[in-house]
Structure 1
Amino acid sequence: MEEWVGYKWHEYITRQALGEFPEHAVHLKDEARNLGILFRALGGDPALSLVTAEPRHFRLRRRFLHKLAGTHRKFELAWRDDQNLRLPERVALFPSASLNRDLYLWLAALAASPEPEASDWLTGNQAMVQDVLARWPGLERIYQRLVSHSLQWRPHPDDLPPVEAAREDAIRQALIHPGSVTRIPGAGTDPWPVILWLYPSLNQRPANGQVIGDDNTQSSPGGLSKKRKRRQAERVEGFDRDQGLMIFRLESLFSWTEFIPVDRAGDDTEEEDAEAVADDMDMISVSNDRRETSSSIKFDLDLPSEENDDLRLGPGIHLPEWDWRSQSYREKFCCLQPMLARDAQPADLPEPLRRPAKRLQRQFSALKPLKQWQKRQVEGEELDLDACLEREVQNRQRQGAIDQKLFVRCQQSQRDLACLVLADVSLSTETYINNHQRVIDVARDGLQLLSEALQASRDPFALFAFSSRRRDHVRFHHIKGFDEAYTGTIRGRIQALEPGYYTRMGAAIRQATRMLQARHEHQKILLLLTDGKPNDLDLYEGRYGVEDTRMAVQEAHKAGLTPFCVTIDDEASEYLPYVFGSNHYVVIRDPAQLPLQLPKLYLNLTR
């Protein structure tokens, strides 16, 4: 009973102190799609990811109620950097849902404006507000409503000391009349947060700690990324958990934050509520407590020895890579190593695939070249009997000019196209999609069924797979070349594919583009199969990898190719439109259907 009363009291005090309207709250996850469309429609950088903003610490002059409830120390505010646009996870400051939603719309519009020339936070935000209102006058009414309600949320100057009151008057003036204030007076505390402005990025480390985490999120342009918050940390002395009976620090006995020894060197431990516990902690304590024990030794993604690895075909191919930060290529930056499976043995088509393979062969056999006889030709292999008979009639009747087209010619109808299939075999394909089947298993079945179908249609095709471990080792597995026949040897190479390493997608696409450029066919298709975003160990993560892959796709388009991506990644619709274009990718929602869907997609591409 006492616990329940205490909880209700805490809930009441906190609600009164926050001054929010939870019944009218609007969440970013519900508005992310519309905000992404608006942000890019107004000229925002299409490569930016929309993610939630982590709380910022402020040193404010708080009221007694704020101190009692422990509120108004951290605020989620909007900001952007080269990687992300960060918006509050939840807005409930205003007494209506439409106003809270308008705040999201205004922040997205403000973030879409160009970087101001002014370097300081005050004049820069005023310049951006003026630019937005000048370009989009329809937002004037929304902005004025937001200003009116946000001023009610801010402290009144009459309740502040003279120095802080002068600063608050300057900020209010800048909100009401953007561009009218050039500087704000200094004070001993931080100014009350301006929720209608953008704040600088959080790249600096706090004075009394450090930031744990990074800005590389697991999503990309077009939607809301998975939240990965930065967290405040302190470094403490390590302790030996085997000595004594105390497993926590005595000074934290009466606090909400317990000292929990977390071994950051090990990644195999699972804690269901770890993220929720971390969200509740104001400070995470980190100590250097790495002891070399047999249970913690890991050899993660180390390359196998030469005698146990696949065969290397040649010394390697040096390829460029696009650096979006400098807007230039890094020449000969990546080394792509062609590989051939060492232990692949000729194999037959697996029994479960034989029935669908026969059905696809019948369907695709209708596409193979057919002989067509063209009548009434000047030259040809045989005489056209009908034309000869008509000429003899005209000759005897002496009627007009006599037709000289007396032959028939045989011509084959050709599908003038070539297809290169590029499969991602990174370590993520080890994941199970059901109780008994992995992603790599589904991908192998898809490659085999598509190969059976293309063999029946007699379309020239090639098969390759790729993975990577940093820029100097991009593995490019040779499965089938254009000039090789599809035999049991090729099936064995497909079945020998195993997952490993990472996904340096740009280099693989560039090599596939070079190979397709050497073909003489009119239509050249580059079909990419993948299960996730481009990533690697050395900076090839987040926007860097996405931008390089996008540039490689653009290079393929300029070379006259048709690149198309097939993926089973649930979040692919957030970044693939930016990388491949809205009409050059498809997401297979049920990965188990990939083997049967792949030939159908090929038919749609080649019709």
Structure 2
Amino acid sequence: MEEWVGLKWHDYVTRQAMGEFPEYAVHLKDEARTLGVLFRAMGGDPALSLVTAEPRHFQIRRRFLQKLAGTHRKFELAWRDEESLRLPDRLALFPSKKINRELYLWLAALASLGEIHHHSWLQGNQAMVQQLLARWPGLEPVYQRLVKHTLQWRPDPDSLPANEGKREQAIRQALIHPGSVEELPDALTDPWPVILWLYPVLARGKVKGQVLGDDNTSSQPGGLAKKRKRRRAERVDAFDKDQGLMLFRLENLFSWSEFIPVDRAGDDSEEEDADAVADDMDMISVSQDRREASSAIKFDLDLPSEEHDDLRLGPGIHLPEWDWRRQAFREKFCCLQPMLSKEAVPSPLPEHLKRPAQTLRRQFSALKPLRQWERRQLEGEELDLDACLERAVEFQRGSGELHQKLFRQCKQNQRDLACLILADVSLSTDTYINNHQRVIDIARDGLQLLSEALTASRDPFALFAFSSRRRDHIRFHHLKGFDEPYNDVSRGRIQALEPGYYTRMGAAIRQSIKLLQARPESQKILLLLTDGKPNDLDLYEGRYGVEDTRMAVQEAHKAGLIPFCVTIDEEANEYLPYIFGSRNFVVIKDPVQLPGQLPKLYMNLTR
């Protein structure tokens, strides 16, 4: 009973101290699509991803109730860097859903103009507000409404000490009349956060009080709300778990923080409520204790020994990679290794695929080349009796000029196209769908059904799969070449596919381009199957991987290819339009439907 009363009292005091309006809250995950469209339509960098902003710590003057509740120490504020636009996860500052939503729209519009640097935070924000209102005058009423409500939310300058009051008055003047304030008066505390402005990039470092690196993105399937937040952390000396019976730090007895020694080198399991606990902690202490590294389990994905690995086809192929920061290629930066499975054995089509495969073969057989007679030809295999009869009639009538097209010729009506299917078999394909079927199993079924359909249509096709472990080892699994028949050998290679490592898409796409360019067909299709965003252990993460993949897709377009992406990643709408274009990808909402949808997508793509 005492605990229940304490929780209720804590909730009540916190709610009163926050001064928010929970009933009018607006969440970023609900507005993400609209904000993304607005940001890009107003000239924002299309490569930036929209993610949640982590709280910033402020030392502001707080009222007694706020101190009692422990609130107003950190705030989620808008900022952007070269990889992402970060906005608060939730807005409930104003007593109107419309105004809270307009704050999201205003911040996205302001961020479309660029970044804010620390040395020009005050002048930079005022200049950006002036520039935005000059460029889009229709935003003036929105800005005035937001300023009116923001001034009501901010502290009264008369209630603050002299210097702090002057600084608050200057901030209010800068909001009402942008460009009128050159600098803020000095004060002992931080200024109250300006929610209508952008803030500088948070520093990434390893010293006390800074934010440890985390790019706030996740390549796992999921929505915006599942993305990670960066945490404020400090480096401390290693905690010795053998120090007698004392399993906690005495200084934490007088704080709300809890000390939990977790060895991340040997234990990478997921704890319940881990995110909630991390959100409640002001500072996460990180220590480095590797004394028992030799006996700990190593979770890094090491490559298997050569005797247990797949067969390597050749010494490897060196390929370039696009560095978007330098706006230049890194020549021979990646090594792609063609592989052939040792474990694969010739296998028939699995029993559960035989019936849908029979249906697909019947449908796609209508696309195979047909022999057709072309009439009224100057030369050919046989006389065209109808043309000869018409010429005889014209001769009897005394027509001046008689046509000479008296033959017919048999030609084959052939689809002049080739397709290369490239499958992502990274570690994420080991994820289970509906707790009974893995993504890799669904992908294998999809590859086999599509292959059965293409065999019936007689379209030349090739099958490859890829995964990577850093730039020097990109595995390119050979399943079927263009000149190989699709038979039990190819089916066995597909069935032997297992989840690999990471997803370095750019190199795999570039090698596929080379293979397709060697084909004589006039129409060449590159079909990519994936379940997530480009990523790898090294620098191939975040925007770097996206930009390299986008450049590889542009190279495919320049080579006359048709690149098309099929994915089951629910977050794909955030980055695939930038990589492939708005019409060159499709998201399969239900992954279980992938095997049946692939042949239909191919038919629509080549019709």
**Where on the TM-score scale, by shorter chain, does this alignment land: which range?**
over 0.9
CA–CA separation in structure 2 for the residues paired with 1:11 and 1:587: 42
Question: For residue 325 of structure 2, what is the aligned residue in structure 1?
Answer: 325
Q: Cα deviation per residue 1:529-568 (whole Å; 9 max; x = unaligned)?
A: 1111111011111111111111111111122111111111
Q: Which amino acid aligns with 2:194?
A: V
Change (3 A) 1:397 1:86: closer
Measured in 1, the distance between the counterparts of 2:4 and 2:117 equals 55
Partner of 1:85 in structure 2?
A: 85
In the alignment, the residues of structure 2 paired with residue 180 and residue 397 of structure 1 have an alpha-carbon distance, to the nearest angstrom, of 96
Residue in 2 aligned with 1:305?
A: 305
Segment drifting more, 386-395 vs 186-195: 386-395
Is the partner of 1:455 in helix, strand or coil?
helix
Partner of 2:212: 212
**1:220-239 alignment runs, 5 A limit:** 224=224, 226-239=226-239
Q: Does the 8 Å contact 2:563/2:580 carry over to 1?
A: yes
Match of 1:460 in 2: 460
Letter in 1 for 2:321: E
Q: Equivalent residues in 2 for 1:564-579 (5 A)? A: 564-579=564-579
Letter in 2 for 1:485: P
Q: Which sits farther off after the overlay, 71-80 or 61-70?
A: 61-70
Shift of 1:225: 5.7
Instruction: Provide the residue aligned with 2:158 in structure 1.
Output: 158
CA contact (8 A) 2:210 2:234 kept: yes
Describe the shift of the 1:107–1:552 C-alpha distance in structure 2 as closer, same or farther (beyond 3 A): same
Whole-angstrom CA distance in 2 between matches of 1:204 and 1:394: 90
Secondary structure at the aligned position of 1:465 is classed as: strand
Q: C-alpha displacement at 1:238, in angstroms?
A: 3.5
Q: Is the 8 A contact 1:32 1:223 kept in 2?
A: no
Shift in Å at residue 397 of structure 1? Answer: 6.6
Decide whether the 8 Å contact of 2:51 with 2:216 is kept in 1: no
SS of the equivalent of 1:253 reads helix
Q: Deviations over 1:416-473 (max 9, x none)?
A: 1111110111111122224443221221121111111111111111111111111111
Displacement, 1:190?
1.0
Higher mean C-alpha deviation, range 45-54 or range 378-387: 378-387
Residues paired across the two proteins, number: 606
Contact 1:383 1:408 in 2 (8 A): yes
> 2:185 and 2:72 mapped to 1: Cα distance?
22
Aligned-partner SS, 1:451:
helix
Q: How many angstroms apart in 2 are the aligned matches of 1:57 and 1:546?
A: 31
Residue 448, structure 1, aligned to residue 457, structure 2? no
Structure 1 residue 367: Cα displacement: 0.8
C-alpha distance in 2 between matches for 1:456 and 1:207? 63
Letter in 1 for 2:426: S
CA distance in 2, matches of 1:175, 1:206: 35
Q: Does residue 603 of structure 2 align to residue 593 of structure 1? A: no
Counterpart in the other structure of 1:344: 344
Distance 2:211 2:164 in 1: 30
Task: Quote the residue 1:359 is aligned against.
Answer: 359
* Paired residues of 1:417 and 1:524 also in contact (CA < 8 A): yes
Q: How do 1:53-202 and structure 2 match up within 5 A?
A: 53-115=53-115, 119-202=119-202
Structure 2 residue 327 is the aligned partner of structure 1 residue 334: no
1:413 aligns with 2:428: no
In structure 2, distance between residues paired with 1:352 and 1:474: 33
Unaligned runs of 5+ in 2: none
2-structure distance, mates of 1:387, 1:76: 82
Give the Cα–Cα distance (whole angstroms) in 1 for the partners of residues 431 and 16 of structure 2.
47
5 Å-filtered alignment, 1:240-255, equals: 240-255=240-255
Q: Which residue of structure 2 lines up, in the alignment, with residue 504 of structure 1?
A: 504
CA distance in 1, matches of 2:117, 2:59: 28
Q: Which amino acid aligns with 1:545?
A: G
Asked if 1 retains the 8 angstrom alpha-carbon contact of 2:78 and 2:199, the reply is yes
Cα–Cα, structure 1 residues 169 and 202, in superposed 2: closer, same or farther, change >3 Å? same
Instruction: Report if the CA contact (8 A) 2:157-2:164 is conserved.
Output: yes
Q: CA offset at residue 213 of structure 1?
A: 4.3
Gaps (5+ residues) in structure 1?
none
Q: Distance in 2 between matches of 1:252 and 1:115?
A: 39
- Asked whether 1:432 is paired with 2:429, we answer no
Question: In the alignment, residue 95 of structure 2 is paired with which amino acid?
Answer: P
Letter in 1 for 2:155: P
SS in 1 for 2:278: helix
Q: What is the root-mean-square deviation of aligned Cα atoms in Å?
A: 2.3
What is the SS of the residue equivalent to 1:113?
coil
Q: Secondary structure at the match of 1:166?
A: helix
Partner of 1:546: 546
SS of residue paired to 2:152: helix
CA gap 1:487/1:121 in 2 versus in 1, 3 angstroms: same
Change (3 A) 1:374 1:235: closer
Distance 1:267 1:535, change over 3 A: farther
Change (3 A) 1:411 1:437: same
> Whole-Å Cα distance in 2 between the matches of residues 386 and 23 of structure 1?
82
The TM-score normalised by the length of structure 1 is 0.94
1:516 maps to which residue?
516
State the TM-score, normalizing by the size of structure 2. Answer: 0.94
Return the offset for 1:255.
Answer: 3.3
CA distance change for structure 1 residues 210 and 2 in 2, over 3 Å: closer, same or farther? same
Q: Distance in 2 between matches of 1:72 and 1:165?
A: 18
CA distance in 1, matches of 2:479, 2:154: 65
* Secondary structure class of the residue paired with 2:232: strand
Residues 353/223 of structure 1: CA separation in 2 closer, same or farther (3 Å cut): closer
Structure 2 CA distance for aligned equivalents of residues 364 and 204 of structure 1: 55
Moved more, 428-437 or 334-343: 428-437
Question: 2:563, 2:164 → 1: CA distance?
Answer: 59
Deviation at 1:142, TM superposition (A): 1.1
Whole-angstrom distance in 2 between the partners of 1:219 and 1:112:
25
Structure 1 Cα separation of the partners of residues 402 and 151 of structure 2: 96
Q: 1:337: how far off? A: 1.4
Cα distance change on mapping 1:294 and 1:205 into 2, 3 Å = closer
- Cα drift, residue 301 of structure 1: 1.8
**What is the CA deviation profile of residues 293-338 of structure 1, one whole-angstrom value per residue up to 9, with x for unaligned ones?**
7873225321122222222222222211111212221121111111
| Shift of residue 345, structure 1, vs aligned partner | 2.4
User: Could you tell me how far apart the structure 1 residues matched to 2:358 and 2:168 are?
Assistant: 77
Any conservation in 2 of the 1:348–1:488 contact (CA below 8 Å)? yes
CA distance in 1: counterparts of 2:435 and 2:61, whole angstroms: 57
1:283 Cα shift? 2.2
Equivalence for 2:375: 375
| Alpha-carbon distance, 1:245 to partner | 3.0
Moved more, 244-253 or 483-492: 244-253
SS at match of 1:211: coil
Worse-superposed segment, 420-429 or 275-284 = 275-284
Three-state SS of the structure 2 residue aligned to 1:499 is coil
User: What SS does structure 1 have at the residue aligned with 2:386?
Assistant: helix
Distance 2:17 2:397 in 1: 111
- The residue number in structure 2 matching 1:28 is 28
User: Could you say what secondary structure the match of 1:366 adopts?
Assistant: helix
Residues 228-237 or 272-281, more deviating? 228-237
Aligned to 2:276: 276
Give secondary structure in 2 for the equivalent of 1:20.
Answer: coil
Q: Secondary structure at the match of 1:212?
A: coil
**Contact between 2:265 and 2:298, CA under 8 Å: does it hold in 1?**
no
Give secondary structure in 1 for the equivalent of 2:335.
strand
Tell me if structure 2 keeps the 8 A contact 1:80–1:201: yes
CA drift of 1:272 comes to 1.1
Q: In the aligned structure 2, how far is the partner of 1:239 from the partner of 1:121?
A: 40
Cα pair distance change 1:386/1:273, threshold 3 Å: same
Partner Cα separation in structure 1 for residue 51 and residue 396 of structure 2: 88
2:121 partner amino acid: W
> Could you tell me whether the CA contact under 8 Å between 1:319 and 1:332 is conserved in 2?
yes
Identity %: 78
